[in-house]
Structure 1
Amino acid sequence: MGFFLETLFGGLMVGMLYALVALGFVLIFKASGVFNFAQGAMVLFAALAMARFSEWFPQWFHFDNKVLANVLGFVAAALCMVAVAWAVERFALRRLVNQEGITLLMATLGIANVLDGGGQLIFGSATYKIDIGMPKDPMLVLENVFEGGLLLNKEDLYAAVAAAALVALLTLFFQKTRTGRALRAVADDHQAAQSIGIPLGRIWVIVWSVGGLVALVAGIIWGSKLGVQYSISLVALKAFPVVILGGLTSVPGAILGGLIIGVGEKLSEIYLGPYVGGGIENWFAYVLALAVLLIRPQGLFGDKIIDRV
């Protein structure tokens, strides 16, 4: 029982990180109707900016304070993501208002390539380190309940708590603020939103900035765990099945989808892997997403789309 719970908790923590990346897809899709294939590149770009600015500031200003370096690196990386959001709106989305979805989709693929190449051109292509002080030692809990207790990774636990807090704040932002309601209105109909005075350009800058900040937090967490390298952008591939499972328009769906996939891939790898030669963790999410598409194409919590002709 103890081993099962350790696996379950590990899956929940990883699933929360998947949900954080998936949340970037959902936020941008809800506000602009664009499935943002550049989200993974945004995670990599943000992580590179955080790692490199945290390294450069102590060299430029001759100080040796790791906390201050991380704070300044975070602020600089956040400003970079806001600048990326402004550039995306100014040079891409502004010219594609009311265009077909496939046109916007191809635009995000182009943005992804620009961020991938540009990030490595500006910040370098080596493997960099992000150290924000998260403890990496495991800890034992519930020793009085289970023999030997449960062994949990502190870093995963802290990361999951941070991700959960950010998800909660963004949910409140979308549901309770005037800007959040404006974002939803823009997603429903660009022309109708413009006709009632909602500034489309500003709204898109805001939502891409929020998506960039989400990517920054995800990049910091994954960079702290894995190191900042090109493969971080591939983490976003796991977010695709998460948003398919939960629904492209649902923030709660992104959260639940991430948790389901995180837990499912861990349990299947441990309990089914020995019978099929292992590797289930690599493809479990995609098989589950395919099954959901066949049964419920809009996902568990997505809005059903009805076209009337």
Structure 2
Amino acid sequence: MQFFFEVLIGGLLSGMMYSLVALGFVLIYKASGVFNFAQGAMVYFAALSFVGIMEKGAPFWLAIILTLALMVLFGVLTERIVLRKLVNQPPITLFMATIGLSFFIEGLAPFLWGNDIRELKLGIQDEPIPYLIDNYGLAISKFDLAAALICGVLVAVLALFFQKTKIGRALRAVADDHQAALSIGIPLQHIWVIVWAVAGFVALVAGLLWGARNGVQFALVSVVLKALPVLILGGFTSVPGAIVGGLIIGASEKLAEVYIGPMVGGGIEGWFPYVLALLFLLVRPEGLFGEKHIDRV
């Protein structure tokens, strides 16, 4: 039973990092109805830019500020150059635009900073917490716990932002109906700028955490794939859904790896979340917290 809890807790902590990646998708989708295929590339770009700025001699705090400013600028330019020209276009058009944006970022990042694999240190050791080992026999990583706390605080702040602030209410109005929001004076372009800027900040945090765990490399782009099952389970428009979906995927992935993996030959952590998401689609296509879509004829 002790080993079960150790695996479960480790999975839940990893799930919080999946939630952080999924959160970037939720922010964009809530405001524009667009699945931002470029989110993974933004995570890679943010992590690589941070390391590149650090290599130029900037201290940690200055590198954070400069990278954040760069990501916010990127979000603003994306809205001005890409999205503003495509207002009221079919969703597939916007989706294809984000695919093109993804390839552009994937080429721009190594062009600016090089494509060598870099180490990223945040000052948090990826080692077991002595207190938990000595008193409970649980090998829980310091880094996993710290990353989960950072993700939890960020998600909670954004959830409050959406629910309690004037801008958050405007974001929800835009998500419900673009034309109706415009008719009551909500500036759609300004809302999109804010959302893309916040998504850039989320990409920065995700890039730092994932880069510290796996190294800053092109493979960070594929972290986007881990967010897909999370979004399917939690719902594409729900911030709390991103949390719950991430926890479910993280825990089920680790438990399946330990208890089912030996029976199927291993490697199950790579595909089990997608099978779980596929089965969930058959029962509740809109996700746990997603809004049901009803077409009346």
Classify the secondary structure of the residue corresponding to 2:287: coil
What is the aligned partner in structure 1 of residue 291 from structure 2? 303
* Counterparts of residues 104-183 of structure 1 (less than 5 Å): 104-142=94-132, 146=136, 149-183=137-171
Mapped partners of 1:143, 1:227: distance in 2 = 27
Which residue identity does 2:41 align to in structure 1? A
Q: CA deviation at 1:159?
A: 0.7
Which residue identity does 1:155 align to in structure 2? F
Classify the secondary structure of the residue corresponding to 2:140: strand
Classify the secondary structure of the residue corresponding to 2:276: helix
What is the aligned partner in structure 1 of residue 267 from structure 2? 279
Query: Identity, % of aligned pairs?
Result: 59
What is the aligned partner in structure 1 of residue 207 from structure 2? 219
Task: For residues 103-136 of structure 1, give each alpha carbon's deviation from its aligned partner in whole angstroms, at most 9, with x where no partner exists.
Answer: 1111111111111111111111111122121122
Could you tell me which runs of 5 or more consecutive residues in structure 2 were left unpaired when the two chains were aligned: none
8 Å CA contact 2:119–2:215 kept in 1: the answer is yes
8 Å CA contact 1:57–1:72 kept in 2: the answer is no
Classify the secondary structure of the residue corresponding to 1:274: helix
Q: Does 1:89 align with 2:79?
A: yes
8 Å CA contact 2:13–2:144 kept in 1: the answer is yes
* Counterparts of residues 1-309 of structure 1 (less than 5 Å): 1-58=1-58, 69-142=59-132, 146=136, 149-309=137-297
Q: CA deviation at 1:86?
A: 1.1
Q: CA deviation at 1:264?
A: 0.2
Q: CA deviation at 1:143?
A: 5.5
Q: CA deviation at 1:142?
A: 4.5
Which residue identity does 2:143 align to in structure 1? E
Task: Give the aligned CA root-mean-square deviation in angstroms.
Answer: 1.2
Q: CA deviation at 1:144?
A: 7.2
Q: CA deviation at 1:200?
A: 1.1
Mapped partners of 1:246, 1:193: distance in 2 = 25
8 Å CA contact 1:140–1:150 kept in 2: the answer is no
Q: CA deviation at 1:302?
A: 0.6
Task: For residues 237-296 of structure 1, give each alpha carbon's deviation from its aligned partner in whole angstroms, at most 9, with x where no partner exists.
Answer: 000110011110111111000000000010011011111111110001111111111221
Classify the secondary structure of the residue corresponding to 1:34: coil
Mapped partners of 2:228, 2:127: distance in 1 = 31
Give the structure-2-normalised TM-score: 0.97
Mapped partners of 1:115, 1:143: distance in 2 = 43
Mapped partners of 2:19, 2:127: distance in 1 = 24
Q: CA deviation at 1:198?
A: 1.1
Classify the secondary structure of the residue corresponding to 2:182: helix
8 Å CA contact 2:132–2:139 kept in 1: the answer is no
Q: CA deviation at 1:145?
A: 6.0
Mapped partners of 2:126, 2:255: distance in 1 = 23
Give the 3 Å change call, closer, same or farther, for CA 228–142 of structure 1 in structure 2: closer
Mapped partners of 1:28, 1:155: distance in 2 = 28
Deviates most, 27-36 or 188-197: 188-197
8 Å CA contact 1:269–1:279 kept in 2: the answer is yes
Mapped partners of 1:191, 1:181: distance in 2 = 16
Task: For residues 190-219 of structure 1, give each alpha carbon's deviation from its aligned partner in whole angstroms, at most 9, with x where no partner exists.
Answer: 121112111111110100110110010000
8 Å CA contact 1:13–1:156 kept in 2: the answer is yes
Mapped partners of 1:109, 1:238: distance in 2 = 17
Give the structure-1-normalised TM-score: 0.93
The alignment covers a number of residue pairs equal to 297
8 Å CA contact 1:17–1:160 kept in 2: the answer is yes
Where does structure 1 differ by over 4 angstroms across 4 or more consecutive aligned residues? 142-146
Could you tell me which runs of 5 or more consecutive residues in structure 1 were left unpaired when the two chains were aligned: 59-68
